[in-house]
Structure 1
Amino acid sequence: ARILILGLAYKANVDDDRESPSYRLMEKLEALGAQVDYNDPYLPVIRQKREFPQFEGKKSVELSGEFDLLVIATAHEQYRQIDFKSLRMTVVDTRHLVQDSFDRLYRA
């Protein structure tokens, strides 16, 4: 499965990724065999991390319809403008960012 994590920052609208749960999520999904990418307008490239060195240098990708699953991990303001329903993919919203309701939306 191809999975896109929206938001790598620890909290919305900042570039601080220390203690971000997104790294652990990426690690677990990859261990299960998923191909995981991320999008974060505040963190275009993952900097060196002591705890997650395997992600160093990984770059933020554009949101596109080529993913099987989208996980909203950080509630950046830019993400509020996205029409998630039109993306035609399953969305897991961990931040209750999506206002609409549709059959492929799961709130966690």
Structure 2
Amino acid sequence: MLKGLGGFGDMAKMMKAAQDMQAKLAEMQEALANTVVIGESGAGLVKARCTAKGVITGLDIDPSILVPSEKEVVEDLIIAAIKDAQARAAEREKQETRKLAETLGLPADFKLPF
């Protein structure tokens, strides 16, 4: 297609590869936004749902712990569940990014732009 243009043919290949990588990154970001992870605390008494991008989407609290005298404990359990969900989301995103980098022939620890 671009024969006889010297290095510009290689430039066109590089641009196409960059566009492909950008499309794959966008697909991965959308998939992460639709993937749900669950964090929990208190042996499952409190569960937090969030997307693999770390956006909290729900909270499930076992009614047995909703005792006024245990307010601080419940608050701590909620915070712990949210932190657990967000940590799991970050790990999931890291795994998916690593897989994508390997698919693109990049080193596993290559930092893809986000």
Query: Normalized against structure 2, the TM-score is what?
Result: 0.24
Q: Which has the higher helix share?
A: 2
Q: Which has the higher contact order (CA 8 A, sep 6+)?
A: 1
Over alpha carbons, which structure has the higher Rg? 2
